[in-house]
Amino acid sequence: MRTMFGYGDIALFSGSGNPELAQEISDYLNEPLNDYDLIEFPNENLFIRLHGSVRGKDVYLLQSMGPPVHRNIMEMLIMIDCLKRDSVGRITAVFPYMAYARSDKKDQPRVPITARLVADMIEVAGADRYITIDLHAGQIQGFFSIPGDVLTAFHLLSDYFLAQPHENSVVATTDLGFAKKGRNFAVKLGVPLAFVEKRRVIDDRHAHAMQIIGDVQGKDVILVDDEVLTGSSIIEAAHILKKHGAQSLKLSFTHALLAPPAAKNLTAVDSITEIVTTNTLRIPPEKQHPKMTILSVAPLLGEVILRAHEGRSVGELFNE
């Protein structure tokens, strides 16, 4: 491996959030994960002690912001402080999924913009760069003043569907905020686009009605989104799509949050025939199911880390 000008050798560290993905990246790069002690005291306080010096090194710190979310964020920040104070050459925080990314704007008064707070915390801890995948909104990149590589699983996911028969498909989305990215998916597959729109029923605070905008009659619907949490909207959408004559339903999304019992409920819906997602978040065995296809982002992250370390272009290969 060539060495980037200005930094020492590469050094990989993995937080405790997603060790399987970290191992895959380590294997891809043929670089070991560095050992360190991580102690949790009985008062929950974490303590970190590196086993060897990182002076001058080009460190990539792999951490998930999945559950336990706050502990994982804090673990990442403490690790950054620890690396900085050991006079590391450069720290790149690699978090394939960014927590709090949906708290990215004040769409009502008197709410926080927590994603900016998280970005500031990462910067104040001492990170020099960051790498992440499919931010909930591209604008979040502007919350950072340090540079970063915001990658996408779009190619991974869309290529998967492109390799299957898809002539009869229609791409749909249940979130109008994802309409533009849904369009890109439809364009890539060369198929039409439809929307599932949800409106609250007047005079009933808790009821709402769903409508289909566009044509799904007799179609194989591919429902796309960036993340799935409870899956309840999708299950409702599955019913309304079926009622409008959709033939089958596949799901495609990057971040498998899948709060229990989302995985169980989704796979229980007959019309949902396949769930395609990635391992940006750890998907434990109990959430997995034969209907679920998990594509690995490890080669993507590994290649980007390699290129970042060697000072080669990332954009030419991976951005949407």
Residues with a known catalytic role: 198
Out of 16, 23, 230, 271, which residue is the one contacting a second copy (CB under 8 A)? 230
Out of 28, 33, 74, 293, which residue is the one contacting a second copy (CB under 8 A)? 74
Strands 46-50, 36-40: pairing kind: antiparallel
Out of 60, 154, 185, 195, which residue is the one contacting a second copy (CB under 8 A)? 195
User: Segment 11-50, which members bind a second copy (CB under 8 A)?
Assistant: 41-50
Out of 99, 171, 223, 292, which residue is the one contacting a second copy (CB under 8 A)? 99
Smallest distance from the beta carbon of 214 to a second copy, in angstroms?
A: 4
User: What is the Cα–Cα distance from 225 to 163, expressed in whole angstroms?
Assistant: 20
Q: Does 165 contact a second copy by CB under 8 A?
A: no
Q: Does 1 contact a second copy by CB under 8 A?
A: no
Smallest distance from the beta carbon of 31 to a second copy, in angstroms?
A: 17
User: What is the Cα–Cα distance from 319 to 227, expressed in whole angstroms?
Assistant: 19
| Burial class of residue 36, CB neighbours in 10 A (0-12, 13-18, 19+) | middle
Q: Compute the Cα dihedral for 171, 173, 176, 178 and give only its sign.
A: negative
User: What is the Cα–Cα distance from 37 to 22, expressed in whole angstroms?
Assistant: 17
- Find residue 224's DSSP bridge partners: 252
Q: Does 213 contact a second copy by CB under 8 A?
A: yes
Q: Does 3 contact a second copy by CB under 8 A?
A: yes
Smallest distance from the beta carbon of 247 to a second copy, in angstroms?
A: 19
Q: Does 6 contact a second copy by CB under 8 A?
A: yes
Smallest distance from the beta carbon of 167 to a second copy, in angstroms?
A: 15
User: What is the Cα–Cα distance from 309 to 306, expressed in whole angstroms?
Assistant: 5
User: Segment 119-148, which members bind a second copy (CB under 8 A)?
Assistant: 120-121, 123-126, 129, 137-143, 145, 147-148
User: What is the Cα–Cα distance from 314 to 127, expressed in whole angstroms?
Assistant: 19
The pattern of x and - marking residues 265 through 304 that bind a second copy according to CB under 8 A reads: ----------------------------------------
Nearer to a second copy, 84 or 291 (CB): 84
With CB under 8 A as the contact rule, which of the stretches 20-28, 184-192, 233-241, 290-298 interacts with a second copy?
Answer: 184-192
User: What is the Cα–Cα distance from 266 to 234, expressed in whole angstroms?
Assistant: 8
Out of 1, 111, 162, 268, which residue is the one contacting a second copy (CB under 8 A)? 111
| Burial class of residue 109, CB neighbours in 10 A (0-12, 13-18, 19+) | exposed
Nearer to a second copy, 33 or 48 (CB): 48
With CB under 8 A as the contact rule, which of the stretches 23-31, 206-214, 266-274, 296-304 interacts with a second copy?
Answer: 206-214
Token code pair at residue 169: 């498909």
Task: Please give the span between the terminal C-alpha atoms of the chain, in angstroms, as a whole number.
Answer: 27
User: What is the Cα–Cα distance from 72 to 66, expressed in whole angstroms?
Assistant: 7
* For residue 290, cis peptide bond before it (omega within 30 degrees of 0): no
